[in-house]
Each structure stands twice: as C-alpha cells, then as structure tokens.
C-alpha cells in the first residue's frame, strides 16, 4: 500500500543553503518495502521548510522560511492524499521572521509556529475544519547565550505539545532554555510556568517525548549531545547526557533532528557535517541511554528525518545532495539498513508521512 510522503524544500537561497527546490513534493511511499515513487511538485510557497498535517490527512500546514518583511507565513492547504493534490486555503502571517517549525496540539485546536529570527512563538486558534478561528497570539521571548554569533537573542526553534494535552514545550536555541507554557482557552498562557536551563552554548534545537510521555530528550545543535529529562507533569529532571557524535570526530558539530521510535526504546538524531544518523536505546529505568551506533545517512547534510508509525522505517532528507534515503529499522536492536533512495528532490528539509487507505 502506497502512502503519501510530503516533502518541504528550499526554493530561495539563504546563507546556509543553496536552494534548488521547487515547492512541496507529494511522493508515494510504499509502507511494505520503503520504496519512494514520483509525484507532483506544488509550487507557490517560498521556502516551505517545515510541514505537518492533521490526523485525517485533509489539511497540510507549511511555514515559509523567509523574513517577516518579505511576508513570512504559515500556509494551510487542502490535501487530497489520493489524487494527490494541494490547494492553498489560507495564508496566515507568521508574526516573525524565518519561521522554522509548525505543529498542531493534540486536539488540533491550535497551530503553533516557531520563529527563529524574531524569537517569537505564535499560536493560532483553529476551527473544526482546520482553518484559523482568529488572529495569532504572539509570545516574544527575551534572552541570549554565550555564543555571540548564534545566541545574540532569543531564537525559537520548536514547540511541542505535551502528551497530557496541558502544555507546550518551547525550545529556545538562543537562550539555552526549554520553556513550558500552559494551554488555556483556544491559545496559550502569555508567560511560562516552567523554564529549564540547558547546558550553556549548546543551542537546544528539537525535543522528543519517549514512550508514555514521562521522558523528554532534547538535542543540542552545537553541544552535540542528547539531554535526557524525566517529566512528571510538574517539572523536568535532568538524568543523563549522551554524545551524538563518535569520540574521535574532529569536524563540525551540527546536530539537527531528533525522533523517538514508537516502541519507546529507541531514539535517533541526525548529524550534519558528519552526515550520519546516531541511534540510542533507553534503559528500562528511563535513567540512561546506550549508544547503538552511527550510520552514514547516505547523503550530505541530513536535516530532517521521520519514523513510520509502525516503526519499520526511518526516512531522511538530505538538504545538500537533493536526496531522500530510506532505512529499515531492526526491531530487536535498532540498527539501520538502507533499503531505498530517491534523488532529484532539490534541497529537501522537511518530511511528513500521510496514510492513504
């Protein structure tokens, strides 16, 4: 059975990437073999570099990673996964520059937009049909870190709803902080009820909940570590750090995405520069991580990757080699084996898988 693999790309060159993308690609993905097949590319969005969809697979959300003055937006599409086609329904102001992440809350009542350049976190209330129910609510964070080149101010990189549906955790790369905001009404509270400091100069980029939601793993982009925290609904308790790179690596440190396996045991991180995927296993007591190994990602600059909901495959997008590589995941030991590759997708940086049938 073929599912839909939506791919976001860079369409306009930026300091960190030479753009070769044409928009959002709608590819086929065989859930039995991991093979990727051709599909249409939908132009119109500028740098649609992060995507998400509703559970029904009828709405696709994309952020345009451009400046606020250039019209940065969060775009809502009608998605027909069977056709497949995208139809732009609404373009919402990002209320900040260089939006780099978009997410839905668990009830799909809120759309979260993280703005890197502006240090703003935006919440749009949503109607039952997935369109905006009102104006965006803007939270502007203030902070900085010891890395003068990257942490001169707040840089929001991701917002992730907690599994209990009560809060959203916001990764502030510029301030080395994870801030928790309560969900209230149709938006979020204006002030955090919890702020946790991560290692100075590490740049917390993305986070992932494991298993039953009582463990949170945070990847530090320049720190090159995964920081593991216990989460009991009231606080974050630091437990352990694990390196995302081999001890003999002397090149650049640039960790990107982090994803938890559906089994709650395995955890994976992408390393740009090293061009690898690092794997970890969570101990039964939830207090330590065992390094499974490092696997070549099969391309240059593995930015985003996803895991299929059945845990059989990992799919990685390579920003600088215009390719997507699929790995089979060993259910016993978490090892990765490449099984398929799709080239010719310019500057792919975000992936989202939608079930068809």
φ, ψ of residue 281 to 5 degrees: the values are -125, 130
pLDDT of residue 285: 87
pLDDT of residue 110: 98
pLDDT of residue 251: 97
Residue 341 in tokens: 């590759």
| Topology at the third CATH level for domain 45-197 | Methylamine Dehydrogenase; Chain H (2.130.10)
- Report the candidate in 286, 353, 349, 281 with the shortest Cα–Cα distance to residue 29: 353
Which position has the token pair 């978490």?
334
Residue 229 has pLDDT above 80, yes or no: yes
Residue 1 has pLDDT above 80, yes or no: no
pLDDT tens digits, 133-145? 999 999 999 999 9
For residues 168 and 159, what is the distance between their CA atoms, to the nearest angstrom? 6
Domain ranges, ordered by start, for the chain = 45-197
pLDDT of residue 234: 87
If 0-12 CB within 10 Å is exposed, 13-18 middle and 19+ buried, where does residue 31 land?
Answer: middle
Q: Which residues contact 355 (CB under 8 A, 6 or more apart)?
A: 3, 4, 57, 81, 309
Residue 8 has pLDDT above 90, yes or no: yes
pLDDT of residue 181: 98
pLDDT of residue 233: 85
Contact 278, 268 (CB under 8 A): yes
In the predicted model, what is the mean pLDDT of residues 79-94? Answer: 97
In the predicted model, what is the mean pLDDT of residues 20-29? Answer: 97
pLDDT tens digits, 87-123? 999 999 999 999 999 999 999 999 999 999 989 999 9
pLDDT of residue 357: 72
pLDDT of residue 236: 95
Q: Residue 286 — pLDDT band, cuts 50, 70, 90?
A: confident
């Amino acid at each position: 059975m073929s599912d839909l693999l939506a791919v976001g790309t860079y369409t306009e060159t930026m300091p960190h990437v030479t753009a070769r993308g044409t928009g959002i690609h709608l590819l086929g993905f065989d859930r039995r073999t991991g093979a990727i097949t051709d599909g249409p590319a939908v132009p119109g969005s500028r740098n649609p570099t992060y995507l998400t969809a509703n559970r029904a697979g009828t709405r696709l959300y994309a952020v345009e990673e451009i400046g606020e003055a250039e019209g940065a937006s969060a775009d809502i599409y009608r998605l027909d996964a069977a056709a497949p086609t995208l139809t732009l329904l609404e373009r919402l102001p990002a209320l900040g520059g260089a939006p780099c992440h978009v997410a839905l809350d668990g009830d799909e009542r809120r759309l979260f937009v993280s703005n890197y350049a502006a240090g703003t976190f935006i919440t749009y209330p949503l109607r039952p049909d997935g369109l905006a129910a009102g104006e965006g609510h803007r939270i502007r964070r203030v902070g900085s870190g010891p890395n003068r080149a990257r942490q001169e101010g707040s840089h929001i990189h991701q917002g992730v709803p907690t599994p209990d549906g009560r809060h959203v955790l916001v990764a502030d790369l510029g301030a080395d902080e994870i801030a928790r905001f309560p969900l209230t009404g149709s938006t979020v509270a204006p002030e955090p009820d919890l702020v946790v400091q991560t290692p100075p100069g590490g740049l917390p980029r993305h986070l992932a909940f494991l298993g039953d939601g009582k463990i949170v793993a945070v990847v530090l982009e320049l720190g090159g570590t995964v920081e593991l925290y216990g989460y009991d609904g009231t606080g974050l308790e630091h437990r352990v750090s694990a390196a995302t790179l081999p001890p003999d690596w002397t090149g650049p440190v640039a960790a990107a995405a982090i994803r938890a396996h559906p089994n709650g045991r395995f955890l994976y991180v992408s390393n740009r520069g090293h061009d690898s995927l690092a794997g970890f296993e969570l101990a039964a007591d939830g207090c330590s991580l065992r390094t499974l190994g490092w696997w070549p990602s099969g391309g240059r600059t593995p930015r985003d990757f996803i895991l299929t909901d059945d845990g059989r495959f990992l799919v990685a997008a390579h920003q600088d080699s215009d390719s997507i590589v699929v790995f089979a995941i060993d259910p016993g030991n978490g090892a990765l084996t490449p099984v398929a590759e799709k080239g010719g997708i310019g500057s792919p940086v975000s992936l989202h898988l939608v079930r068809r049938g």
